[in-house]
Amino acid sequence: MRNCLLVLDRNGKVIEAWNQWDKLFEGTGGPHKVKISPFDPDRHVWVVNDSVHQIYKFTNDGKQLVMTLGERGVQGEDGTHFGTPQDIAFLPDGSLVIADGLRNSRVVKLDKNGKFVKAWGTQGDGPGQFRGLHGIEATKSGRIYVADRGNRRIQVFDADGTHLDTWPNLRFPNHVVVTADEQRVWVSDGTNARILQYDTNGKLLYWWGAYGTTPGQFWEMHQFSVDSDGNLYAADSFAGRTQKFAPHQGADRSKMVGGSIPLMPRSTR
C-alpha cells in the first residue's frame, strides 16, 4: 500500500503525504474511515484500520502515532480487542464510541484515555442488535446514531447504550452525520446512491442522488462531510474518488447537507 494517508486542501491539491505510516496498512485494504473529534483542541486524527482490527490516533500533523487501540491481526470481543471495527465517534467528555463492526456486533465505549468502559449489542435484528455496524455518530446531548447496515436501518441510543429508536427501510446505510443544531440527520444510503435527510424522530424529509460514475452521481457514497462554507465532500469508494459539491447562489439551505459540530479552536500549547 502506498499513499494511504493524504491531506488535501479544499481544491483537491495534496499538501501533505503521511507516507511514513504506509507500513501500518501493508497487507490490508487501507484506511477505512478518518475522523477528528470536535471536542479535541489538539485535533488528533483518528484512523480506522478495520482489516487488522485496529484504530490509530495521530497528532494533527501526522508526525506521531500517540495511541493504538486493538491488537494487530487479532480479533476479539473483550475490552482491548475488536472484530473489524468500522467507525468512531466522540462525546463531549472526551469518551469515544466505536462501531465494532462486521465480525463483532456491538458498540464499544472507551474513556478519553482509551480505557474500556462498556459495550452493548449482539448479533440479530431486534432492538439493540446488529448485523454489520458500519457508521456511528454522537451528539453533544449524548444521542448515538448507528448505521446498522446489515439490517438496513438506523438505530438510536443514549450515551449509556439504552435503545431509543429504530429507523427502518433503508438499503445500505454507510455513514451518519448529525447537524450541529441536532435537528437533522443525514445518511448515505450506498447501494441506492442517495443521501437522505431525516428529522430526529426518523421522518424522511428529503433525499437526492443518482447511481453512476459521471460527475454528480455515486457508485457507493462511503463517507461524507461538510466544511464551514457549506461545501459537501463525498467519498465514492467504488468509483475511487472524492467529489466536492458547492452550494449554488440562492440554494434552499433546508435541503443542503448540514455540517456537524465544528472543531474547537486549536490549542496554543
Mean pLDDT for all residues in the chain: 96
Q: What is the pLDDT of residues 107-128, one digit of tens each?
A: 999 999 999 999 999 999 999 9
What average pLDDT does range 135-144 have in this prediction? Answer: 97
Backbone angles phi, psi at 233, to 5 degrees: -115, 120
Q: What is the pLDDT of residues 8-40, one digit of tens each?
A: 999 999 999 999 999 999 999 999 999 999 999
Confidence of residue 269 (pLDDT cuts 50, 70, 90): low
Q: Is the CB of residue 92 less than 8 Å from the CB of residue 140?
A: yes
Q: Is 104 exposed, middle or buried (0-12, 13-18, 19+ CB in 10 A)?
A: buried
> What does pTM read for this prediction?
0.96
Q: Is the CB of residue 188 less than 8 Å from the CB of residue 224?
A: yes
